[in-house]
Structure formats: structure tokens, C-alpha cells
Amino acid sequence: MKTRRNFLITGSLAALGSTLPFASMPKEKPKEPTIVPEWRNQQPGMTYRMLGMTGLMISEVVNGGDPVSTKNTRPFEIAMERGLNYLDMAPAYGNGECEKGYAKIIDSSSKREKVFMTTKISGVMSVRNRKYKEIFDGLPQGKKDAILNRARDMREERGTDIPGYYLTYWPGQERSMDGTYLSNAMAPDYAHLVDDSKELSDFIRKSIQGSLERTGQSYFDILMSPHGANSPEEVQVPEIFQTVEALKKEGLIRFLGVSTHNDPAGVLKAATKTGKYNVVMCAYNIINGGYMHDAIADAKAAGVGIIAMKVAMPVATQHVAMKPLPQWRIDKLNRIVPGEMKAPVKAYLWALQNPNISGVISNLWDEGIVNDNLSVVGKKIQLMPA
């Protein structure tokens, strides 16, 4: 198995002379960490940014997994020919069909060496929520009412549902935080029965093994766990960290990441604070951008790599039930990014003006979308007031 890690962090303090009094001894500041960039599939016309302190030099536009299947591989091959080098996937995408599609695309060791591959642990927080709910169902009504009130108060205090910060990206998303906050409200009393559970570890291991088998690979560069974190508590589960460290030692993964749609600033801040997460893929767009700015800047300063997702979804969606999207969003984007470009292209261009993110994730459904979305790489523009 090839070397998984291709970066070096060095630092030292200068030796102090033994004959000088302490106050007059010359001192040197600790050297800043030196990170050796890791390049893959570098092509003319593509622009690359380092992903936090991982050293991974990823293309400014990276590949989302939704459109990938065994019957739809050509758009991604075209994108790779143009220098795209980061492939995102999850077992939840098409019930494994996405990962099987990538197996057709990355079907040799030489192709594997051209890309960074990321998968996610879909459903691990559903295990957590189920275990808390089982405890909840056995409690007396008075205790249940107190927990439900606590869950409601937590959400209100954090402002997770504020319009403009919270955005609906897919039908049914609004229900996705209910189980999370029931679990969070119960954690002070019952975490020892759930968050240290071996069942979580077993689920993660089974998921990563399934992903490796479906893709035909021996390792992933990044493992995102959980897939779609809804709250800060979900990136502080001890069993996740313990399992991930074991997977690293076994050579199955290199770095830990997390993705988040709901309360993305809260999740990003918490993930950064743990010191465990190397990468965060978070919802970031012209609607929630003001809420995200400081959290992204602080994460970048701490060495966390940021990939922006749901960048274009406020102004373009494949979900029929979400259409038509509010016209005021498109009008706002057109004020900020003037010119004759499609709305999704403007959205990606807007996000890439932020130097604190490493890339934007884009669903490349066909060759036309590949041409549109890759047209933004390397472009610098002046953003107008909203």
C-alpha cells in the first residue's frame, strides 16, 4: 500500500547559550509549521488550493457524488481531464450506486494516484438518535416533558432555525434536527449509555468497509463522520474519535472530516475546537454567508480545510418540490455578481472569492455543467454591495 501521508511538520526552539544570563539570552520564535504540498492530477487551466494543514492541493471545484452512477461516468472523466482531483461520495448516494460508479472511473492504481477520494459515514447519527429514543420511550411522562422542553430551548437559544441562517436544501430537511436535539437534551444524563457505545464504532467500521468494497479501493484520503452533522454535540462523540484513530493506524483513512447543512457555523466552530477534524464541508452561500464568515476564518486560522457546499442551491435546485425558488435570492446574487452568467456559475464564483475556503463542491450532471462550473476557477472579481 502506498504511503498515505505526504506532509511534514517541523519546528524547534533554538538552543540557549549556557554562559549568558537568562535575561540577555538570544531567543528565537518557534518556526511556523512547514507543510509539503501534495499534488495530484495538476493540469494547466485548473487552479488549486491547499486543504487546511493536510497538504492536499485540491482543485477549486471538486466533484459532488449525487450524479455519479455506473451509468453516468463521462462528465467526471471530462472534469478529471481538466484537472479536477477531489471526488466526494457517500454510501447514502443512490444506496451505494455512487461509490460503484466511482469504481468504474477509478479502475487502476495510476488513476487512483491522480485523485483524492472522500467518503462519509451516512447514518451514524441515526444510530445515536435511536439509542437515545429507546431510553426516552421508557421514561415517565414528566421526565419526557422536561427533556422535550430542554430540546426546544436549546434550539431557540442557538438560533439554528433563524431564516437566512437555516435554509431548506431538500424536501423533508426541516425534520432532520428533531431527533438530534432530543438526543442532545438527554446527553447530560445518558451519554454514558450512548456516546461511548460500541454500536457506534461497529457501524462506522461496517460503513467504511462497505465503501472500500464498492469503490474497489484500499483507503480513503478523507473520511467524513458524521455525514450531515446537525449540532456541535455530534462532532464531540468520543467513540467516533477512538474509531477513527484506529482506522488511521490501519491505513484505511488519512484524515477526518465532517459535513454539515444545519447549524453549519455552530458545527464548524465545534469541530475546529476539538482539534480532531482536518476538514469541514459546510453549507456556505450568498444567503447564509454573513453567519458563516467568522467561523470559516477562525477554522482556516486553526488549520482546518474548508470545502463549501450548497453554494448554488439557494438559486438552483434539481428538487422539483423546491421549485420555484424565491426570485429575491437570484436578484441578490445578480446585484453582488453582475454580468451575463448563469446563476449557479455566479454562486460558485462568489464563494471562491473567499480566500479562507479551499474549494466548492459541484454536482456535475453532464458535460455542459462541467464546462459551466469549471469556468470559474482562478477568476478574481470585485463583489458589489447586495
- Within a 13 Å sphere around the CA of 59, how many CA atoms are in the beta-carbon half? 32
pTM score, whole prediction: 0.90
Residue 200: in which H helix or E strand, if any?
Answer: helix 198-215
Determine, yes or no, domain membership for 89.
yes
139-147 CB contacts, 8 Å cutoff, 24+ apart? 147/182, 147/185, 147/186
Q: What is the pLDDT along the chain (386 residues), one digit of tens a residue?
A: 444 444 333 333 333 333 333 344 455 655 667 899 999 999 999 999 999 999 999 999 999 999 999 999 999 999 999 999 999 999 999 999 999 999 999 999 999 999 999 999 999 999 999 999 999 999 999 999 999 999 999 999 999 999 999 999 999 998 999 999 999 999 999 999 999 899 999 999 999 999 999 999 999 999 999 999 999 999 999 999 999 999 999 999 999 999 999 999 999 999 999 999 999 999 999 999 999 999 999 999 999 999 999 999 999 999 999 999 999 999 999 999 999 999 999 999 999 999 999 999 999 999 999 999 999 999 999 999 98
Amino acid at 293: H
Is there a domain that residue 12 lies in? no
Q: What is the CATH number of the domain that holds 75?
A: 3.20.20.100
Residue 351's domain comprises 22-130+153-374
Q: What pLDDT is attached to residue 29? A: 57
Start-to-end CA distance of the chain, whole Å, equals 51
| Predicted local confidence at residue 196, as pLDDT | 87
354, 296 Cβ separation under 8 angstroms: yes
User: Considering the domain boundaries, does residue 8 fall inside one?
Assistant: no
Q: Does residue 5 fall inside a structural domain?
A: no
Tell whether 125 is covered by a domain: yes
| pLDDT score recorded for residue 262 | 97
Number of domains composing the chain = 1
**136 located within any domain:** no
Residue 324 lies in a domain: yes
User: Does any domain span residue 80?
Assistant: yes
Measured distance CA(62)–CA(85) in Å, rounded: 7
Q: Which residues contact 240 (CB under 8 A, 6 or more apart)?
A: 124, 200, 204, 225, 226
